[in-house]
Amino acid sequence: MPRTIHLALHPYGVGGPGQHGLWKDPRVAKNSSIDINYYIRLAQAAEHALFDALFIVDSQFINATYPAHYLNRLEPLTLLSAVATHTKHIGLVGTASSTYNSPFNLARRFASLDHISGGRAGWNVVTSFDTGTSKNYGLDEHLDYTTRYGRALEFVQVARGLWDSYEDDAFPADVERGVFLDPTKLHELDHEGEHFKVAGPLNLSRSPQGQPVIFQAGVSEEGRDLAAQVAEGIYAPGGSLQQAQEYYADIKKRTASYGRDPGHIKIFIHGGPVVAATDEAARRREREIFEEDNDFDRNLALLGRSFGAYDFSAHDLDAPFPDVAHLAEKGGRTGAAKLIERARTENLTLRQVAESINQFRQSPFVGNPRTVADTIEQWFDAGTFDGINLAFRTEEEINLFVDGVVPILQKRGLFRTEYAADTLRGNLGLPIPANRHAREPQLVSD
């Protein structure tokens, strides 16, 4: 089968990192981040356009400097469970931390979403970026990188073991014989590892897709290795075409090194298309968006997130970038290390570093519908992604992409004209995981 593009939708609400002015747009309802009808409308629009998934991000720590969307938003699994009852095909991917959850509880919640949606759930595994989260869970300090990623790997392994608690035919529900459950097909986990001790079994059967799809967003060495071992979908950083090619090739190579089929891991890059009637109008609008969002104080606060929500406002903005390398180990280490290295080699001040994180950078996916479709096709053919995680500022902009770009991709055979399956796995072309306890070989493709 020829490769086709996968599309996911990432709602902005009233504006996350880098979209500091979005909440001021008169087209954006000021309560959209907590309005379930907003998410239902977006999911239905994306489903009408045959998108693969709706993706909901999350974090569990804020202070008053955080982006507008972060200050007041719905919990992902609660949100997605509501959306599930108003959609039929689109996948529902929620972010949840492996650092600040227990495997049994989270495995049960995602399995419940998988049943509610008929097999459309996905879990974006994160180790938690914000160091302040620790204090919301009774811990004095955020766990270090090595511990967080070791815990994440074991967490996923435990969750998958719990999702296999029942074999597929464990419930004969035979009234005549008085047999509801075949007890030989219920399996305890009895896991005892470095980070977790979980007996099991889970009190919920497998869904039509076997298990929720595992997503991950690894950039660091630890993150890339975790993704190569357990992920079935990846939210990749994007960047330039060359950077995206290098990341794509690296992840596929690592996946193969762990004995996995590289085709069974779908890499989504971030994309924020700007579509207009002409290329000139789209570029003009792209520049306007940058100016709307260019808030120095918010950028300075955003810089602090990579260093454990550190308050840089206490420093002289025009002095050399301060020595805060020790704060990066338990925060966003990879991004922080790049900032520190740039500041050192280019002798940048704190002000210059803060300004640099929100410099105007032209997106490749900007122009009239044909221009955007051409660029998407070029990047896809160049081996940079399997899919794009699309983010739009307004519902109007989603419609411009759906009505203008999607039909061109479909005409070129690059995007589906109907859903292939009722499950997220089926539409992503991923195999159904065989239950480890099954007596007979099971079908492993949807």
Contacts of 385 (CB under 8 A, 6+ apart): 5, 236, 244, 248, 267, 268, 269, 379
Tell me the two tokens of residue 245. Answer: 């090619």
Q: What is the pLDDT of residue 272?
A: 93
Evaluate whether 15 touches 69 at the Cβ level (below 8 Å).
yes
Confirm whether residue 58 is marked as ligand binding. Answer: yes
Quote the CA–CA distance of 388 and 376 in Å, as a whole number.
Answer: 9
Q: What is the pLDDT of residue 58?
A: 95
Confirm whether residue 446 is marked as ligand binding. Answer: no
Evaluate whether 423 touches 445 at the Cβ level (below 8 Å).
no
| Structural domain boundaries in the chain | 6-280+364-428, 295-356
Quote the CA–CA distance of 301 and 311 in Å, as a whole number.
Answer: 7
What distances in angstroms separate CA 437 from CA 73, 166, 294, 434, 440, one per listed residue? Answer: 40, 8, 55, 8, 9
Q: Which H or E run includes 83?
A: helix 76-84
Q: What is the pLDDT of residue 330?
A: 59
Q: What is the pLDDT of residue 445?
A: 47
Quote the CA–CA distance of 287 and 126 in Å, as a whole number.
Answer: 32
Tell me the two tokens of residue 301. Answer: 């606060």
- For 122, phi then psi, to 5°, come to -140, 145
CATH architecture of 6-280+364-428: Alpha-Beta Barrel (3.20)
Confirm whether residue 384 is marked as ligand binding. Answer: no
Question: Of 248, 266, 273, which is closest to residue 367 (Cα–Cα)?
Answer: 273
pLDDT along the chain (446 residues), means of 10: 92 93 96 98 98 96 91 98 98 97 98 98 92 88 89 98 96 97 97 97 96 92 94 93 96 97 97 97 96 89 82 91 79 75 89 85 94 98 97 96 98 98 98 88 46
Q: What is the pLDDT of residue 446?
A: 43
Confirm whether residue 220 is marked as ligand binding. Answer: yes
